Every structure is written in structure tokens, then in C-alpha cells.
Copies of this chain bind each other. A is one copy, B any other.
Amino acid sequence: MGELTPELRGFLDTVQVGVLATSAQDGRPRQSVVYFARDGDDLLISTLGARRKAKDVERSGWASLCVMALEPPYASATYSGSAEILTSDIGVPTAAVVQRVTGLPEPPEPQTDEALAAVDRVVLRIAIERVTAVTHMETR
């Protein structure tokens, strides 16, 4: 139940992908790999409004993201918190995630909310409240 230390915050900037977990309607966990971006102490994920992960977040208001280094000893941590689906002012956060996917030095020009809505793009935002299951990292 740790707090978000500078190291745990910085770790989020070293890996582009993580495993998102939400709670399905039957209470079972649902997991998928997602690209994400960090904005302060928030995690931003671009997805489609019709996706089950988006419906889970609308229903439960909570999500977690487990992030793992891609080489041994696989340093890792799980970041959890209140989550919501955003459809307004999502041009800039969507561009931030696209930059992570593409690896471009700058984010692309932000799209309008209307253009993103036309293709069902939404932003899943997690406000980090807890960091758990931290391995192979200094937590202070």
C-alpha cells in the first residue's frame, strides 16, 4: 500500500506498455496489455468506448496497471486508483499516448474531441492512489 515515490513515478517513464486490470461484471479480473502515458500522478490510456475495459471502468470506477521492466530481474510495480472514461478535452492526452506507441520525439498534432468521438476513441484515466507488488526497486 505504498505511496508514489519519485522512483516509482520515474519508472513509469521507462516502459511504454503495461497490463491493465479491471473488474468484469461477474467480479473476475479482466487483463489486457496497453500503451500508456503518465501525466503527473495520472495514468492515461487510449481505448475505444465500446471496449469491455471501458465499460468495466464506467461501472466500477477503479483500475490498476502493472508495469514491468522488459529484462531480468523484471522490476515491477502495480499502480491502482480511481478511474474514469474521458470524452472531453482528450486530444492532448490521446496524442501523448500515440507518441508513446510510435516513439516519435514529439506528440502528433492533437485531434478534436469530435474527430476522436467519430472513431469511438476515449481516454481511460487512472488517478494513482496506491502502489503495490513492488519488486526489484528501491522504494525510497
Contacts and interface: CB of A to CB of B under 8 A. Distances in A.
Contacts of A74: 17, 33
A70 B68 CA distance: 10
A138 interface: no
Contacts of A94: none
A15 to B, nearest CB: 10
Nearest to A56: B29
Given A17-B68, A70-B71, A23 B29 contact: yes
Interface residues of A, number: 27
A26 to B, nearest CB: 9
A31 B133 contact: yes
A80 B28 contact: yes
Contacts of A19: 19, 21, 31, 66, 68
A81 to B, nearest CB: 10
Contact of A32 (B27, B63, B71, B133): B133
A11 interface: no
A22 interface: yes
A46 interface: no
Nearest to A26: B62
Nearest to A21: B29
Interface in A63-78: 63-64, 66, 68, 70-71, 74, 76, 78
